Structure 1
Amino acid sequence: MSNRRDFLKLSAIGGLVSGLLLSGKTLAATATGGKSAETAQKSMSKQPIVVSTWEHGMPANAAAWQVLSSGGTALDAVEQGVRVPEADPNVRTVGLGGYPDASGEVTLDACIMDHQMNCGSVAYLKRIKHPISVARKVMEQTSHVMLVGEGAQQFAKAQGFVEENLLTEQSKADWQQWLKSGAAKPQINVENHDTIGMLALDSHGNLAGACTTSGAAYKLPGRVGDSPIIGAGLYVDNEVGAATATGQGELMMKTVGCHLVVELMRQGLSPKDACRKAVERIAARLPDFAKYQVGFLALSKTGDSGAFCIQPGFNYAVQAQGSALLLDADNLLNQPAGAKA
């Protein structure tokens, strides 16, 4: 699994190089959680800004920044941003090349939401590489919020999307090895749940968000997690802020976690503290919470961002004028003694 992590780091570097060529002034930095991450972000311009989950958020942010830096909308930015990992076969948890379900079928989930509470979603979508763009079509071309399965696929084809095989040879080989291994349990922070969620604030002061994934590796056929569920895997309120999530999707669904984070921000909590409270609420109901990973990432209306998770290992990417950062989120297991859980 170290090879995958090494690749993602190289991908991030590649994204930063692209940003250098485009803007002429991009600073790459890596900081650990707590005060280091917060201090790093204080020097960044707060509008426009884009944040996203995991290392593959770096090249995704670079694509989103091309939209934001030219005065484009947050909605266009998040769609274009997450299309990058959707099309990258080496990002094994999103789009093309994603890990299949237990039957060997790659199924994709995605949702998108704008500053006016318009939203669209697709779930259990097969053989369409860019579910985020299909989700946007659902939002803009229908009166519905969510389409699933065969209905989502037929809608996508009617909108001009082309079917293609999403199961790469590498993902197929890994799935076949998994079958031989007796369905071993997936590892925390590895291939089973590295969803990309992206939040953006544009120069017009508007927020938008997108979330897209191939879901849990080797899941039961038909399983859908939090990523395409508005309120669970993503939520945007233009008066307050936005939040997205990654990790064990069922836990975010049970708590409507991203809506919770936004509501905590409405009550006055910072993005990081809101994420922390949401994680604590989940952990308090799980006697074995240390077996799971849950991570929230939030962006406020003022351009402040923050994240928090259960396990060490969750990082997130932030890009604004002049800088691109990859930051480690603080986590529940390594909280200072006496911290409330």
Structure 2
Amino acid sequence: MEVGAVGAMRYVKDGIKAARLVMQHTEHTLLVGEKASSFAISMGLPGPTNLSSSESIEKWAKWKANNCQPNFWKNVLPENSCGPYRPTSYLEHTDETCLKTYAMQTTDLRFLDLGHRIHDTISMAVIDRMGHIAVGTSTNGATFKIPGRVGDGPIVGSSAYANEEVGACCATGDGDIMMRFLPCYQVVESMRLGMNPELAAKDAIGRIARKFPDFMGGIVAVNKKGEHAGACHGWTFQYSVRSPGMKDVQVFTVLP
């Protein structure tokens, strides 16, 4: 039950190391924003560092040239092609034609064929020889996100959860939807109640899919014995496993 997390942290490359430092050296669970960066640097991590790459700059430039579309805004009108944005309900004497035109330009990212390219989550569960279980998640967040957005990565029970008495879970996908269900907490608790990893993972994914049939996500569950399984929705999901008895990593493919 030891936890550390950071969110919306800029200028520090090693987010997962910063999260571990929060766990090891504070009584807090989650640090965010500028102060999370300051904490990480004060604890010895390199920074402040410019984390932009030529690839990310090029991607951003193309997105801005396309009127900042697609994006995660909804029910808004921009003052120009890339904002600032204002709620439509706050605007008076709005031309209905203008509203319809903008609605056609705004595309919900969840319906685009972007798949894994809109996020870059790495989530891992580890069981050591003593039976101790740990999980960790690191992510750059969703592409084209609204500044300040924090996804499911640092949210306990959403992208990862572990309990040494039961097992662990890792998840990735549409974090804004998945974090509403704490799917990894659900998986671990389902295994505590007797479900095997496969049923627990499918049950957690099914709970989300029944409310949001268009979401994309994947879950990996592993019990304390090392038995594992995955479940997914909206995409073909892969995860890898390595155990002492294996000569190399094995990749498992899970179909929706």
> Using the alignment, how far apart are the partners of 1:187 and 1:134 within structure 2?
33
Displaced runs of 4 or more, over 3 A = 185-188
Residues 293, 309 of structure 1: 8 Å contact kept: yes
Alignment match, 1:329: 254
- 1:243-294, CA deviations, whole angstroms, 9 ceiling, x for partnerless residues? 11100002221111110011111111111211100011111112xx1x3211
Q: How many residues align?
A: 212
> Using the alignment, how far apart are the partners of 1:283 and 1:189 within structure 2?
16
Alignment match, 1:120: 4
Residues 298, 306 of structure 1: 8 Å contact kept: yes
Alignment match, 1:187: 113
- 1:52-88, CA deviations, whole angstroms, 9 ceiling, x for partnerless residues? xxxxxxxxxxxxxxxxxxxxxxxxxxxxxxxxxxxxx
Unaligned runs of 5+ in 2: 71-108
Residues 177, 215 of structure 2: 8 Å contact kept: no
The 5-angstrom pairing of residues 142-291 of structure 1 reads 142-163=26-47, 164-182=49-67, 183-184=69-70, 185=109, 187-286=113-212, 289=213, 291=214
Match of 1:311 among 230, 234, 245: 234
Q: What amino acid is aligned across from residue 296 of structure 1 in structure 2?
A: I
Q: 1:272 to 1:194 in 2, by over 3 A?
A: farther
- 1:22-66, CA deviations, whole angstroms, 9 ceiling, x for partnerless residues? xxxxxxxxxxxxxxxxxxxxxxxxxxxxxxxxxxxxxxxxxxxxx
> Using the alignment, how far apart are the partners of 1:317 and 1:144 within structure 2?
32
Residues 294, 310 of structure 1: 8 Å contact kept: yes
Q: Percent identity?
A: 36
SS at match of 2:169: strand
- 1:123-180, CA deviations, whole angstroms, 9 ceiling, x for partnerless residues? 0000111111111100010110110001101101110112211110111101111112
Match of 1:140 among 21, 24, 31: 24
Looking at secondary structure, tell me which structure has more helix per residue. Answer: 1
How high is the TM-score relative to the length of structure 2? Answer: 0.80
SS at match of 1:217: coil
Unaligned runs of 5+ in 1: 1-116, 332-341
SS at match of 2:208: helix
Q: 1:313 to 1:181 in 2, by over 3 A?
A: farther
> Using the alignment, how far apart are the partners of 2:173 and 2:226 within structure 1?
24
Distance apart, 1:188 and its partner CA: 4.0
SS at match of 1:208: strand
Q: What amino acid is aligned across from residue 156 of structure 2 in structure 1?
A: I
- Greater length-normalized contact order (CA 8 Å, ≥ 6 residues apart): 1
SS at match of 2:6: strand
Q: What amino acid is aligned across from residue 174 of structure 1 in structure 2?
A: K
- 1:314-338, CA deviations, whole angstroms, 9 ceiling, x for partnerless residues? 111111132311111132xxxxxxx
SS at match of 2:39: helix
Residues 292, 311 of structure 1: 8 Å contact kept: yes
Residues 236, 255 of structure 2: 8 Å contact kept: no
Residues 195, 215 of structure 1: 8 Å contact kept: yes
Q: Greater Rg, structure 1 or structure 2?
A: 2
Q: What amino acid is aligned across from residue 249 of structure 2 in structure 1?
A: A
